[in-house]
Chain A
Amino acid sequence: MPDPIIRTERLTKRYGRARGVDDLDLEVRPGEVFGFLGPNGAGKTTTIRLLLDFIRPTSGRAVIFGLDSRRDSRAIRRRLGYLPGELTLYESLSGVELLTYFAHLRGLRSIETGRRVAERLDCDLTREIKALSHGNRQKVGLVQALMGDPELTIFDEPTLGLDPLVQAVFFELVDELRTAGRTLFVSSHNLPEIQRICDRVGIIREGRLLAVESVSDLKRRALRRLELRFAEPVTAERFARVPGVHDLVVDGPFLSCVVTGSVDPMLRAALELRVDDVISHEPSLEEIFLAFYGTGATGGPPPESAPTPGAPGGTPGTPSEEVPHAA
């Protein structure tokens, strides 16, 4: 296997009492789109800022392109694009001016690549940034991140504030970059987004890496909340033993449950009766954590018994790719 593009070794950042990241062992392979999934405040941005040498690790280290993230930060940044999470641009510059400025700082000959990306995103580079809406600023942020055609691009919550149409274009861009062999690191708190664009995903919560999984595995174990309304009252027993069904609640003709994996058995069972309505929800991140990693919304680190190899408490150096199977 080729050397990883990003490798962190027990990377740790502590902020007094506040949580940073803890013993993070992560590998991002060349040419993959790696998702970094976790709720807000989980340590995604802290990790990214460690990678970029904006902040320094309390212990552990990160290696990018085989270079040390602290000592060789400048050489790393030469080959890297970055979209910050809380994006702030220079208000008094226009998009073109911003790109020109950064092109000079990066030693790029022109901003042509940037202009092409901007065209794709329908991003007006002539207006002053202070006159732009949040979504349009985000576009400028994406354009500056991609304008150098970097080997690695780090996106911190890239689609925040983008309208669905622009999001779709962004997903297209990601697919093209993947085809071109670029490596992308995408942080997000949005599972469908990660599933849509990523190859593998690292799941982080409260500063700890819970698991690293391939997105296809994650999809195979897809989690759905289903709500059904039947023509007549039903009993819970009827559905209790349907494969993949959890958290079953029945109230007269109303049924709600969580289904892991295929919804086919549940729907077949339901269709033996008369169904008036079906609603399917994307699960929240917390529901996923609960179902897959046995760790709920408020608790500290997951209990020892949780099926989470390579997760907190796991021995350092444990490969985190092992897939924890849902109970």
Chain B
Amino acid sequence: MLRSVFAKVVHDQWRMVLGWAAFSAVWPAMYVGLYPSIGALGELEKMLDQFPPAIREFFASASLDLSSPEGFLNMELFTFVAPLLILAYTVVVGGGATAGEEEKGTMDLLLANPIPRWRIVVEKSAAFVIGTIVIGIGMWIGAAAGAAIADVDLDLVLVGQAIGSVVLLGLALGGFALALGAITGRRWLAAGTALMVVIAGFFLNGFGALVDWLEPWRPISPFYQYIANDPLSNGIDPGNALVLVGWAVVGTAIAIIAFERRDLAR
């Protein structure tokens, strides 16, 4: 316990992470568990069929097929809820990784120890990657439990890949928030700005599917990389995954450089 900056973050956050993972497990469990008992599913599908294709595409970047539990999950869980659950964690924790201690005023005390600044960024990032993965695992367990209880035939490997894609989305934007926090020293500014990028990315991907001139810009959106190839049906596309990992790595690298060079706030 408390052997390193990494251990300190774990010490501080494990309850919060486990709590959030449990909360995040509820949603897939609920959607999967309720799937067989939604009698009106056929009706819902009929209604969706009458939607203009554009709207359908906006809400489900992947194919809309409610006759399978995967299609239902894509629509209900992976379009919005799952990214929200993960991003709420990564953006806030990423934004506060170094900026939180700066704002609270503990950074001076921490850095009076013979520890290089880059190492604080790296250890905090490592803890935050693990936290994100734990929340992803929580979601997967939720989905698996829901499938077992309600006896739904669900490909849990593909569910795992789709959740993996959500985790990468979270890390990408968490890395962005981390960089902003390291540059500005202000956690809510960092988290808030990252959140705006999240929203912009969500709509860019959604509208990009509808608007011709936006279409070429869609790959800029992390949401496009996350879901456009429908990881729940096709598994994670390595190219998309690499782009998201790239976001996270570049974000962390920028955070390290910025944090090494900056005057610390007080």
**A: which residues have CB within 8 A of B?**
45, 49, 52, 54-56, 74-75, 77-78, 80-82, 84, 86-90, 92-93, 97, 100-102, 104-107, 141, 144
Contact = CB atoms under 8 A, between A and B. Distances in A.
A81 B112 CA distance: 7
B113 A106 contact: yes
A113 B3 CA distance: 18
Contacts of A102: 113
B265 to A, nearest CB: 9
B113 A105 contact: yes
Given A77-B114, A80-B112, A88 B105 contact: yes
B17 to A, nearest CB: 15
Contacts of A52: 108, 111-112
Given A104-B3, A105-B115, 4 more contacts: A77-B115, A84-B108, A89-B109, A97-B1
7 contacts: A75-B114, A80-B112, A82-B112, A87-B109, A88-B106, A105-B110, A144-B109
Interface in B98-134: 104-116
A55 B109 contact: no
B21 to A, nearest CB: 20
Contact of A74 (B5, B114, B264): B114
Q: Which 9 A-B pairs have the closest CB atoms?
A: A88-B105, A82-B112, A105-B113, A78-B114, A55-B263, A101-B2, A77-B114, A54-B264, A104-B3
Contacts of B108: 49, 52, 54, 82, 84
B106 A89 contact: yes
A160 to B, nearest CB: 15
Contact of B263 (A54, A78, A80, A97): A54
Interface of B: 1-5, 8, 12, 104-116, 263-264, 266
A204 to B, nearest CB: 18
A77 B266 contact: no
B107 to A, nearest CB: 8
Nearest to A92: B12
Contacts of A56: 263
A88 B12 CA distance: 16
A55 B2 contact: no
Nearest to A45: B266
A55 B264 contact: yes
A181 B241 CA distance: 59
Contacts of A100: 1-2
A104 B113 CA distance: 10
A88 B104 contact: yes
A71 to B, nearest CB: 12
A110 to B, nearest CB: 14
Contacts of B109: 82, 84, 87-89, 141, 144
A246 B5 CA distance: 58
Contacts of B106: 88-90
Contacts of A104: 2-4
Given A52-B111, A86-B266, A106-B113, A97 B2 contact: yes
B219 to A, nearest CB: 39
B183 to A, nearest CB: 16
Q: Which of A77, A86, A141 has the most CB of B within 10 A?
A: A77
A52 B111 CA distance: 8
Contact of A54 (B12, B111, B113): B111
Contacts of A49: 108, 264, 266
